[in-house]
Amino acid sequence: MKAGYVALIGRPNMGKSTLLNRLVGQKLSIVSRRPQTTRHQILGIKTTAQAQIAYVDTPGIHQHRVSRALNRYLNKAASSALLGVDVAVWLIDGRGVRDDDQLIWDKLAQAAVPTVLAINKVDLLADKKALLPVIDQASRSYPLTAIVPVSALEGTNLDRLEQVIIEHLPESPLIFPEDQLTDKPMRFFAAEIVREKLFYYLGDEVPHQLTVEIEAFKEEKGLARIYAVIWVERPGQKKIVIGKHGELLKRAGQRARLELEEFLGLRVYLNLWVKVKPGWSDDERALKQLGYVA
């Protein structure tokens, strides 16, 4: 039996969360087209007959806009995921290694763990031969354990990726109970699902200045009562999130409630409230109060 931790690391929007969900076979990380949707380390555990793999999804690492406290937190959360892992999966796309990737490689080299380069989004390439120079450049530039082209969206070549990962895990008894899927509480996923639906309807109108806090989560007789606060930084953002006649908030809430019912296996009563906390995304104390602790 083999068991160990595997960090999924890369630039924003490389498909780390989609890959985690595919590998585990359960939606644990929210996804959107916006960079840095993932804000926390998210553990997804997969147990097979031969191995237990604890995948760690991470925020995207970047070198720009790190002056704000939230962006510094995101980089710190991603970097700290490399502490104590057994394997790292470094995600890029078919365009190859970019400027921000050197910062990522420096962190990988410092961690000194076997690193598998996963070239994601190959489904977007009309000509797969375009991967050849990308593979050649990466293999010459970095001492990688393996290079595996994949499509997290379509599930292409993920069996091969998992096989390579297992080959480099240590022999070990199970780290977690066989049926455990994650280490996050239900209220964490409730907040994430609400945030995902808001991102879907808001587009780019309210960027990082939105977060969700669960004030109460109660289960009673097949019903989950969830009370959530949506924090923004300015009154104008509050109006945008609520929408005309409250329609945007209502639509996002309905979609979140349906997904929560499927996720929890319970009927859900979801109460959403939008409040203003000026400058929360650049306030270290406010970030900790809202659960941003790396």
pLDDT at 74 over 60: yes
Specify the CATH number for 2-167; select among 3.40.190.10, 3.40.50.300, 3.40.50.1000, 3.40.50.720. 3.40.50.300
Name the pLDDT band for 66 (thresholds 50, 70, 90).
Answer: low
Q: What pLDDT, on a 0 to 100 scale, did the predictor assign at position 209?
A: 84
Task: Give start and end residues of each alpha helix (H) in 13-85.
Answer: 16-24, 69-80
pLDDT at 67 over 70: no
Q: What pLDDT, on a 0 to 100 scale, did the predictor assign at position 78?
A: 87
pLDDT at 76 over 70: yes
Q: What pLDDT, on a 0 to 100 scale, did the predictor assign at position 75?
A: 86
Which one is predicted more confidently, 39 or 164? Answer: 164
Q: What is the pTM of this model?
A: 0.92
CATH-assigned architecture of domain 186-289: 2-Layer Sandwich (3.30)
Q: What's the pLDDT tens digit per position in 227-285?
A: 999 999 999 999 999 999 999 999 999 999 999 999 999 999 999 999 999 999 999 99
pLDDT at 72 over 90: no
Distance (Å, rounded) from C-alpha 246 to C-alpha 249?
A: 6
pLDDT at 14 over 80: yes
pLDDT at 35 over 80: no
235-242 helix and 247-264 helix, angle to the nearest 10 degrees: 70
pLDDT at 124 over 70: yes
Domain limits of the chain?
2-167, 186-289
pLDDT at 33 over 90: no
Which of 13, 78, 91, 79 minimizes the C-alpha distance to 39?
A: 78
Phi, psi of 224 (to 5 degrees): -105, 125
Burial of 12 (0-12, 13-18, 19+ CB in 10 A): middle
Q: What pLDDT, on a 0 to 100 scale, did the predictor assign at position 294?
A: 63
- Average pLDDT of the chain is 92
Strand ranges inside 51-133, DSSP E: 51-57, 87-93, 115-120
